[in-house]
């Protein structure tokens, strides 16, 4: 990039990025990705002082998360000169994140918010699931940050709401069908590792309870369900949707299985061609004839999709695998930050760009059989 930074701070040519809330699993990974980014500088990382005598303020992030190799100290937000920064990725809990977004926007920063505060167009829907919104008027500024369906709006946004992990996989799996009016009814069966719960240290009891086991949770009514419904409604589907998530014995990873009753008769070739047309130019969506697994996309920004048919019962089946901490969180935040600051969308994420074009992959998809299973 050339010229002064977007906030006019005069520091130099590279945008200066704040990661607010770097103490959590997603926030700490965002810090690593920004630190390694070819176009950005990780200027500061913050954490909240919980007031319980164990404040993380002043500790270096690598002392807490050695795997990220970040030699910066966690700071209190109040000690920062916000005018020296260009953008922030916020990984605070929803309530505090709303207030912080206002402060950062007022200081002239672009904001990528990774919590749920700005994921909904309808504030009433948000409040029905999360309680009173701290900054409802900011919703008029916010753009939903799923680039594969909302790219042009993200590029012009000052405030981006990073999607939830389940909505990311579910909406990418169903968007082509929703746009074509092909969904009469859908059941989403989702499975995720324990890292979606937050700080890694706090995940230990969850993992112990999940080891050699799996269970549904958030039934009835997981908070990601209304987010999925709202996004699909904007794509044309406003009908019945059942969403059931499950916790499985993985640290990270997510697999979503969508069972769709089609609104009219379709065949596998039409479905495959529909997905090829929708995602042919997407860097971070892989179409495959093989059933995807969570391991296929570990530590990448890729959503790996397999659309197929249950011919006997005439159902469309769509399987989507993502890494819940990456495409479902941290790396998607970087993808949105790239768009918002005008650098190449894949910058800092080059290692996770799909290896083949989706056109080439689609040409290899067999149309006369189901995907290969183990």
* CB atoms inside a 10 Å sphere around CB 268: 18
Q: Which two tokens stand for residue 361?
A: 């992959």
**What DSSP letter does each residue of 298-333 carry, written as one string?**
TTSS-EEEEEEEETTTTEEEEEEEE-TTTTTTHHHH
Contacts of 285 (CB under 8 A, 6+ apart): 148, 172, 279, 302, 303, 305, 354, 358
From the list 115, 165, 258, 303, the catalytic residue is 165
**Do 242 and 187 contact (CB within 8 A), yes or no?**
yes
Cα separation, 33 vs 113, in Å, equals 16
* Helix (H/G/I), strand (E/B), else coil: 121: coil
Q: Provide CB contacts within 8 A for 289, sequence distance 6+.
A: 306, 308, 361, 364, 365, 366, 371, 372
Cα 331 to the center of its chain, rounded Å? 7
- DSSP state, residue 163: P
How far is 229 from 239, CA to CA, in rounded Å?
9
258 is catalytic: no
Helix axes 165-179, 224-234, angle to 10 degrees: 30
Catalytic residues: 165
């Amino acid at each position: 990039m050339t010229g002064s930074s977007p906030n006019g701070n005069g520091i130099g040519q590279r945008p200066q990025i704040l990661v607010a809330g770097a103490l959590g699993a997603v926030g700490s990974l965002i810090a690593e990705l920004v630190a390694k980014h070819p176009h950005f500088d990780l200027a500061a990382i913050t954490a909240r002082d919980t007031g319980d005598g164990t404040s993380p303020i002043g500790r270096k992030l690598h002392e807490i998360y050695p795997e990220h190799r970040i030699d910066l100290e966690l700071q209190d937000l109040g000690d920062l000169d916000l005018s020296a920064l260009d953008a922030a990725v916020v990984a605070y809990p929803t309530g505090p994140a709303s207030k912080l977004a206002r402060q950062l926007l007022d200081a002239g920063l672009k904001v990528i918010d990774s919590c749920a505060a700005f994921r909904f167009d309808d504030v009433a829907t948000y409040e029905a699931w999360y309680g009173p919104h701290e900054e409802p008027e900011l919703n008029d500024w916010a753009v939903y940050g799923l680039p594969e369906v909302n790219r042009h709006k993200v590029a012009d946004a000052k405030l981006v709401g990073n999607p939830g992990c389940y909505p990311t996989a579910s909406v990418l799996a169903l968007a082509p069908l929703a746009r074509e009016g092909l969904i009469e009814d859908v059941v989403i069966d989702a499975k995720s590792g324990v890292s979606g719960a937050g700080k890694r240290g706090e995940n230990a009891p969850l993992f112990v309870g999940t080891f050699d086991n799996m269970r549904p949770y958030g039934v009835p009514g997981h908070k990601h369900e209304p987010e999925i419904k709202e996004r699909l409604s904007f794509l044309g589907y406003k009908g019945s949707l059942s969403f059931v998530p499950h916790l499985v014995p993985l640290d990270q990873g997510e697999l979503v299985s969508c069972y769709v009753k089609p609104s009219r008769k379709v065949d596998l070739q039409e479905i495959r061609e529909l997905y090829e047309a929708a995602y042919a130019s997407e860097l971070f969506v892989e179409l495959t004839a093989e059933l995807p697994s969570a391991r296929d996309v570990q530590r990448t920004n890729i959503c790996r999709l397999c659309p197929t048919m249950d011919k006997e019962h005439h159902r469309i089946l769509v399987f989507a695998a993502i890494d819940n901490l990456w495409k479902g969180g941290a790396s998607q935040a970087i993808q949105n930050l790239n768009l918002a600051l005008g650098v190449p969308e894949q910058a800092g994420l080059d290692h996770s760009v799909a290896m083949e074009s989706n056109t080439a992959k689609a040409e290899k998809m067999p149309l006369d059989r189901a995907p290969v299973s183990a």
